[in-house]
Structure 1
Amino acid sequence: MKSLESIIRSIEPLNQDSMLLTQQRLDSLTKPPGSLAVLEKMACQLAGIQGKLPITLPNKAILLMAADHGVAVEGVSAFPAEVTEQMVYNFVNGGAAINVLARHANARLILVDVGVKADFPAGLPIRRRKIRKGTDNMRYRPAMERPEVLQALQTGMDMVNELADDGIEVIGLGEMGIANTTASSAITSLLAGKPPAQVVGRGTGIEQKVISQKIRVIEEAVARHKPDPHDVIDVLAKVGGLEIAALAGAVLGAAARRILIILDGFISSAAVLAAYRLCNSVQPYLLASHLSEEPGHAAILQALGLEPCIRLNMRLGEGTGAALGMTLLDAAVKIVNEMATFGEAKVAEAYNAGDKEV
């Protein structure tokens, strides 16, 4: 088991030679240079991570961390806290949106219980990594103790190591935890330097009065516990979530194992921002699948220096956007490997429109 510090030190830059050769291949294909835009960038990024040519369709997994949040009792969500447990059973039974889209993307769905209040029966396809049964109510007490955050980070790193050893090359980030948009908003506010009112959104579809309540709860929690924005562990301990901390650890572990990390929406991206603040060397391994409707998501992507691949006005979470991003990644790989070059197709590489009328 590698320590957090050793994982961070082991993260290496992307292979620039592979990226250059892939871009040269893309420029030789029967299209105007750069005309496939994001797909070309995705292909080059994957080449830099795989470090080989030709790039190949990667083995993919959605890593879905689940945990409960004590702050749910403050009425910050449209759904009661027991929905966390109920949705985990829905994932197990294959009935959730992420199940459908993971199958569509040909990705494995890995369910991990890091902090659900309920205990699930043996025999279910759930990785049992429970650290504690939900966080405390951040409005009055720190959400976690510092050692629990470190344990959650280690859990995320360990899970990624297991997946990497099993041949996974791309990981999408997913989560489940009622009230986790409250924790994510608090984290984003602190780590992106934005007031809570600028990053709090509708979450599960709450009305304006509930949004105001969510903002008030975050402001009170920050005023009471005084998390240090320069100490990521302190921020996660005081206003974070177990699944968010575990996902942050997964990001660090994935970058160390040269695995592409596909972000989902607001909550998983808050975890990525925490990982980035711990080690900005993870940035080249990040791919933003989409832009969530949650206002804090744009602030996070800006802080990470990422552009979303698609804009579908989504705000579900679970890893759904990441799964869709995987389908685009597969398309990018196929473009590189299956499209004809100008020479192969006997198509002129340039046309001087001034010589002839069009």
Structure 2
Amino acid sequence: MTYQIDPIANPELEAKIQHKIDLKTKPIGALGKLEHIAFQIGRIQQTENPKIEKPTIVVFAGDHGIATKGEVNPFPQEVTSQMVYNFINGGAAINIFSNTNNLSLKIVDAGVNHTFPNELDIINAKIDFGTKNYQEEPAMTLKQCEESFNKGSDIISKLKNEGTNTIGFGEMGISNTSSAALLMSYFTEIPISECVGSGTGLDNEGISRKQQILSNVYKKYNPQNALEAMAVFGGFEIAMISGAILKAAQLKMTIIIDGFIVTAALLAAQAINKNVLDYCVFAHNSNEKGHIKMLEFLNVNPLLSLGLRLGEGTGTALAIPLVQASVNFLNDMASFDSAGVSGETKD
């Protein structure tokens, strides 16, 4: 599995973009993170006049074998399929936020333990009816893992061909915070105890039990690379997001990274190709325990800190308008010359 991802460094263009930003009718640096985002997206698109086109959020859903035991999750596994119906019916937070900000929303069955009607408005990319329980055996085979990456890539290729150049990801899968914690520990080498949080609402006793269970799982395996780690610990939805992230970067799309689960998928993607990080804008700092440590490991700063830990891509949906505003000010805000405003004096 190889993804040809070009680095975005271009000193001559970067100087032009920065000069354009600095000449806007404002003090230098006065728009803070928005200036950094405008600069980054100009570099991603290799232009002084970047555009956000058909921004889309793709929510991948998949079930996890460990959820059937109910030891690490307070909600039963069938909530995954029930929430997919909620997405389709427009009743979830991601629907509300996507509608509020005029974002296209796609729902993917990556591996839900349920058969959805053919007429449902859903992308059928099902690998299997949920992963295996990694307490007993690897979550998936290497072949299934590769297939997940490839299906995620194919979905992004199709969206790019339809005109989307800005993409965000969400997820749904009971117990996927357990997979994310295991992947986080593998890629960052942070102890499991510091990677495990409350997920969908565990109390302190539940968190302690979850830490012990996942610690035992972690010790059971010795994956040798990113793909093996995803096959052992991951979920179909997480693997598809990893493949989607890599393909989006290869296609020079702007990638908006959501919270704990999506960042776990990114950890795997960047282990495969570091250049993927050039294309990523980090939406928010999730309230799930391990997320801030993930962001510190990647040495990145998110746009928002709202105490969210819902998933679904909700942080992404809230951040995309800020990304759009960054591009708009770069393209449309007057310069000192065009507005006839005196600029900063030089001694």
Q: Are the counterparts in 2 of residues 174 and 318 from structure 1 also a CA contact under 8 Å?
A: yes
Give how far 1:225 is off: 2.4
Match of 2:238 among 244, 247, 262: 244
- Indicate yes or no: 2:199 matched with 1:203: yes
Could you list the per-position Cα deviations for residues 255-307 of structure 1 after superposition, in whole angstroms to 9, with x for gaps in the alignment? 00001111000001000110000110101001110001112112221222211
Q: What letter matches 1:32 in structure 2?
A: P
**Distance in 2 (alpha carbons) for counterparts of 1:332 and 1:224:** 46
**Distance in 2 (alpha carbons) for counterparts of 1:242 and 1:137:** 13
**Distance in 1 (alpha carbons) for counterparts of 2:216 and 2:286:** 26
Aligned to 1:308: 302
Q: How many residues matched?
A: 345
**Distance in 1 (alpha carbons) for counterparts of 2:155 and 2:109:** 12
Per the normalisation by structure 1, the TM-score is 0.93
**Distance in 1 (alpha carbons) for counterparts of 2:198 and 2:246:** 29
Match of 2:63 among 47, 59, 68: 68
Aligned to 1:287: 281
**Distance in 1 (alpha carbons) for counterparts of 2:318 and 2:140:** 33
- Name the Cα RMSD after superposition: 1.5
**Distance in 2 (alpha carbons) for counterparts of 1:225 and 1:319:** 30
Q: Are the counterparts in 2 of residues 68 and 177 from structure 1 also a CA contact under 8 Å?
A: yes
Q: Are the counterparts in 2 of residues 291 and 310 from structure 1 also a CA contact under 8 Å?
A: yes
Q: Are the counterparts in 2 of residues 140 and 224 from structure 1 also a CA contact under 8 Å?
A: no
Q: What letter matches 1:42 in structure 2?
A: I
- Indicate yes or no: 2:32 matched with 1:55: no
Secondary structure of residue in 2 paired with 1:174: strand
- Indicate yes or no: 2:117 matched with 1:121: yes
Q: Are the counterparts in 1 of residues 113 and 129 from structure 2 also a CA contact under 8 Å?
A: yes
Aligned to 2:215: 219
Aligned to 1:174: 170
Give how far 1:57 is off: 3.1
- Indicate yes or no: 2:83 matched with 1:87: yes
Q: Which ranges in structure 2 are unaligned for 5 or more consecutive residues?
A: none
Aligned to 1:109: 105
Percent of residue pairs bearing the same amino acid type: 39
Aligned to 1:321: 315
**Distance in 1 (alpha carbons) for counterparts of 2:278 and 2:249:** 9
Secondary structure of residue in 1 paired with 2:59: strand
Secondary structure of residue in 1 paired with 2:290: helix
Secondary structure of residue in 2 paired with 1:287: strand
Could you list the per-position Cα deviations for residues 155-193 of structure 1 after superposition, in whole angstroms to 9, with x for gaps in the alignment? 111111011111110110110000000000010011111
TM alignment of 1:123-272, pairs within 5 A: 123-228=119-224, 231-272=225-266
Could you list the per-position Cα deviations for residues 296-332 of structure 1 after superposition, in whole angstroms to 9, with x for gaps in the alignment? 1122212222111111111011001111111101111
Give how far 1:346 is off: 2.3
**Distance in 2 (alpha carbons) for counterparts of 1:149 and 1:304:** 24
**Distance in 1 (alpha carbons) for counterparts of 2:85 and 2:228:** 32
